[in-house]
Structure 1
Amino acid sequence: MAPRLNPLTTLTAAAAVLVITTAAASWVVSLTVAAGAVLLAGVTGAARRVFLAAGVILAPFWLSLLVMHGLFFPEGRSVLASWGPARVTTEGLGFAVDMGLRTSAFVLVLLLFSFSVRVPELVAALATLRLPPQFGYVLASTLMLAPIIAARLEKVRQAQESRGLVVGKGVGNRLGAVRLQMVPLVLGLVHDAGIRAQALDARGFRRTGPRTTYTQVRDSPAQRGFRIVAVLLAAAAVAVRIAASLSRGQA
């Protein structure tokens, strides 16, 4: 069995990929990153959970993009179809697809990392950087928020369906079903957050002073070298983007 990567390695790789994707500002790069995340999710066995969480997050986002920019893009000139004030333009669809692919790449990469990382190992690895333990817990909790929401939403949906909830094809029926699912979802997340806060306080989370970790996280010179290269590549992508913007501004 191959040894697991250090959480700092996967965290650095995910952050570098997101920075490079943002700096590139290209739908080709975004599509490539999203496809790579999907492929890795399938290889690691996290495809079902990643797709479920990504669907919950991205489906309404894509819908809003297509409605706002696909139909009401103010800078659109090439009109493909029109219905009163709504106009389908080439520029609007292009902007919506570009933003949608970029956001999809972000969501898929973060979900893949959150489903593959082990929180105790991540906290222990961050402790080796002399960071406060609270930072590790906050980062881990933030990364695990999407999987928690996806799992909770699936339970809420199953509970609502067992009580006779039927989602029709109309927009009104779908919005009503979303409202019935969102209310228990938010209340359940707030309740879970209170329970976790009490558990952390009981374990001395707020106490200061030296701490001992019993989780051993393996590292290697190759992984440390990879992290340095990834950070340099991300910094270079940002520098190239800034230089290109300045050159266009002076032209």
Structure 2
Amino acid sequence: MPEHPAAPAAGRRLNPLTGLALAATGALACLAATHWAVWAGALVVAAALSARAGTLRRVAAAAAVVVAPFALWAFLIHGLFFPEGATVLAAWGPARVTVEGLVYAAGFVLRTAALVGTMLAFSVWADVAVLRAALVRRRVPAQLGYVLASALGLAATVSDRMRRIRQAQEARGLVVRPGPGGRVLAARLQAVPLVLALVDEAGERALALDARGQALPGPRTAYVDEPDSAAQRALRWALVAVSAALVVAALVPGAARAAAAAGGGG
């Protein structure tokens, strides 16, 4: 089985579908829960698992690229213009820094960081070849399996691509000014070529797959070893049940309130 360059032997004994189930359950918990303890717990677990796999620095770098713009937006909008804010710390005309706005913005950033960190922890750790083989063995359509595996492979290289883009721009004379403003401007200049490169690579991969008959019907044979065990299969089914419970817990109260409102209005 191909070995992940940054993962220890213990991590390679974990089936990628088990890791996917863990990440999906963590992401659903971040979306369904409304308490900061759940988001902080998911973030701590993702960081701990990434540290164990030896991928924490890559996950942190990639997450920072995604979370930092959201954090800046959240604290500017909710920290200064939160309509429900009552405890004013400072005011400049219509802008008011309130405790309630800062708390709301902090929760928004923490939730986003937990969600992004959970998914990136899996995408950086996962061996794309083994994941695709696991999906093929379970009769997942080849195109869907490759799209998922390719998306994870691209996400795992975001930090490396950003570093290369920054080095290329600095070699051409880009000067990153000190302070948050300079970093935000540099991130914007690096994000455009990053997105264009990812779109271009996705098109090239699609053409290569079509040329090799990937879209043809019929069974697929995988020659990659897939680690698995009865305990992992039981864990995956348990995580599926937990995920279903999270979805039901999030949707049923809202549906009940909507039905009650409709009945009261009638």
TM-score, normalization by structure 2:
0.85
Match of 2:81 among 59, 63, 72: 72
| 1:107–1:172 Cα change, 3 Å | closer
Question: Do structure 1's residue 204 and structure 2's residue 213 form an aligned pair?
Answer: yes
Matches within 5 A, 1:158-237: 158-169=167-178, 173-174=182-183, 176-237=185-246
Mapped contact 1:110–1:143 kept (Cα < 8 A): no
1:137-161 CA distance string (max 9 Å, x none)? 1111222332233221110101111
Matched residue type, 2:57: R
What percentage of residue pairs aligned between the two structures are identical?
A: 50
Cα RMSD over matched residues?
A: 2.4
1:26 Cα deviation after fit: 0.9
CA distance in 2, matches of 1:98, 1:29: 11
CA distance in 1, matches of 2:182, 2:247: 45
Partner of 2:150: 141
1:185-208 CA distance string (max 9 Å, x none)? 233223322322222222211111
| 1:94–1:176 Cα change, 3 Å | closer
Question: Do structure 1's residue 19 and structure 2's residue 28 form an aligned pair?
Answer: yes
Match of 2:130 among 118, 121, 124: 121
1:245 Cα deviation after fit: 5.4
| 1:8–1:56 Cα change, 3 Å | same
Query: Which stretches in structure 2 are left out of the alignment for 5+ residues?
Result: 1-8, 261-266
CA distance in 1, matches of 2:51, 2:180: 33
Matches within 5 A, 1:43-82: 43-82=52-91
Mapped contact 1:124–1:213 kept (Cα < 8 A): yes
1:34 Cα deviation after fit: 0.5
1:175 Cα deviation after fit: 5.3
Mapped contact 1:78–1:89 kept (Cα < 8 A): yes
| 1:171–1:238 Cα change, 3 Å | closer
| 1:64–1:179 Cα change, 3 Å | closer
Partner of 1:29: 38
Specify the SS of the correspondent of 1:80. Answer: strand
Mapped contact 2:136–2:142 kept (Cα < 8 A): yes
Pairs aligned (count): 251
Mapped contact 2:42–2:114 kept (Cα < 8 A): yes
Match of 1:42 among 41, 44, 51: 51
| 1:27–1:115 Cα change, 3 Å | same
1:172 Cα deviation after fit: 6.2
TM-score, normalization by structure 1:
0.89
1:244 Cα deviation after fit: 5.5
Query: Which stretches in structure 1 are left out of the alignment for 5+ residues?
Result: none
Specify the SS of the correspondent of 2:178. Answer: coil
| 1:247–1:77 Cα change, 3 Å | farther
| 1:61–1:118 Cα change, 3 Å | same
| 1:185–1:243 Cα change, 3 Å | closer
CA distance in 1, matches of 2:61, 2:122: 15
Mapped contact 2:18–2:236 kept (Cα < 8 A): yes
Mapped contact 1:9–1:226 kept (Cα < 8 A): yes
1:195-227 CA distance string (max 9 Å, x none)? 222222222111112221111213221111111
1:64-100 CA distance string (max 9 Å, x none)? 1111111111222222211111111222112111111
Partner of 1:90: 99
CA distance in 1, matches of 2:198, 2:225: 31
Match of 2:119 among 110, 128, 136: 110
